[in-house]
Amino acid sequence: MNTKLCVLFVLAFVTWPCQGSDYQVFPLRMKTGYNEQYPTEVSCASWRLGVEANNLVKWKTVPAPCQEHVADYLLGDQYRSDSKTVCREAYFYAKTLNITQKDIFVFDVDDTALSNLQYFANHGFGVEEHNATAFKIWVSYGEAFALPETLKLYNKLLALGIKVVFITERPLDLKDVTVSNLQNVGFYKWDKLIARDPSIYSGKLSNAFKSSERTKLAEEGFRIVGNIGDQWSDILGDKRGFRTFKLPNPLYYD
Ligand SMILES: *[C@@H]1O[C@H](CO)[C@@H](O)[C@H](O)[C@H]1NC(C)=O
Ligand SMILES: *[C@@H]1O[C@H](CO)[C@@H](O)[C@H](O)[C@H]1NC(C)=O
């Protein structure tokens, strides 16, 4: 550690040594809560980490005791900061590439480019069981706002000369409203916006649909240099991209 940093640390935490050798590390910290239970805040943070790491899969709803934790996470600074870390890393990676005409970056739409936070705020922050009808009505309003860190990344990628392709679970009949919603909030251009065609993909899992559409892109000669989404199903499977980026989403599991 250089001297300046050391001085800073000394100023900030007078009692902390700079060498780090005086930390006391206990092999097993005793649980702090009552009756062997962790406080809700602690166990819900663990739940969220399990979700983001794809250790907890196929869950249907946010555990009811974690509703406030999830709401605080999404409405506070942490969600934005976590998203920023992901988007910055994607940009730093993209900057290292020698871009060609064939290079594309795949973006998901829901809770990647557009935020459905308003909908979920009115429906229990993921605690209520998903209602596809109500969700479709919300989407059809075309009023979702842009996720700001994704929008920044999108603009930077375009400036680097990388083409953008959106692949969305939204069905074809919601394509027009999706186009206008994206454009209204600052996503002005893309090479393709691929919505789910129910005549081909009825009953298929999200991952199968996205893999199949990415494979088609590869067959058309595109090189998928990157792929960003909030769901693991966006970034696993065939032709997933040279690098994938997972945005946080503790609200639902696709
Ligand atoms: C990009 O091109 C330069 C010059 O041709 C080359 O030196 C460099 O290794 C290339 N980088 C990558 C990541 O391919
Ligand atoms: C789902 O949403 C629709 C439209 O708002 C509503 O009519 C229906 O009752 C809801 N279903 C459930 C199970 O809540």
pLDDT of residue 170: 98
Same structural domain, 156 and 227: yes
Q: Which atom number of ligand 1 is nearest to the Cα of residue 98? A: 1
- What percent of the chain is modeled with pLDDT above 90? 85
Q: Which protein residue's CA is at the shortest distance from atom 7 of ligand 1?
A: 98
pLDDT band at 83 (very low <50, low <70, confident <90, very high): very high
Note the pLDDT tens digit of each residue in 31-53: 665 567 899 999 999 999 999 99
For residue 252, tell me if it sits in a domain: no
- Write phi, then psi, for 171 (nearest 5 degrees): -75, 160
Element (H, E) at 114: strand 114-115
Same structural domain, 13 and 76: no
Is it the case that residue 23 has pLDDT exceeding 90?
no
The token pair that represents 245 in the structure block = 């980026």
Ligand 2 center from residue 132 Cα (angstroms) = 8
Same structural domain, 17 and 106: no
Q: What is the DSSP string of 195-249?
A: EE-HHHHTT--HHHHHHHHHHHHHHTT-EEEEEEESSHHHHSSTT--SEEEE---
Same structural domain, 81 and 172: yes
Determine whether 190 is exposed, middle or buried from the number of CB atoms within 10 Å of its CB (0-12, 13-18, 19+): buried
Q: How many residues does the chain have?
A: 254
Q: Which protein residue's CA is at the shortest distance from atom 13 of ligand 1?
A: 97
Same structural domain, 120 and 143: yes
pLDDT of residue 1: 47
Mean pLDDT, range 126-147, rounded to an integer? 97
Mean pLDDT, range 123-143, rounded to an integer? 97
The model's pTM is 0.88
Ligand 1 center from residue 98 Cα (angstroms) = 6
- Which 8-state DSSP code applies to residue 172? G
100 within ligand 1 shell (Cβ under 6 A): no
Counting ligands in written order, which one lies closest to the CA of residue 97? 1
Same structural domain, 117 and 9: no
98 within ligand 1 shell (Cβ under 6 A): yes
Q: Which domain holds residue 71?
A: 36-246
pLDDT of residue 243: 98
Determine whether 130 is exposed, middle or buried from the number of CB atoms within 10 Å of its CB (0-12, 13-18, 19+): middle
Same structural domain, 111 and 27: no
Q: Identify which of 211, 147, 221 has the alpha carbon closest to the alpha carbon of residue 185.
A: 147
pLDDT of residue 37: 82
Note the pLDDT tens digit of each residue in 182-221: 999 999 999 999 999 999 999 999 999 999 999 999 999 9
Mean pLDDT, range 103-114, rounded to an integer? 98
Give me the number of domains the chain comprises: 2
Same structural domain, 26 and 54: no
242 within ligand 1 shell (Cβ under 6 A): no
Same structural domain, 156 and 206: yes
Determine whether 249 is exposed, middle or buried from the number of CB atoms within 10 Å of its CB (0-12, 13-18, 19+): buried
**Residue 113's CATH number:** 3.40.50.1000
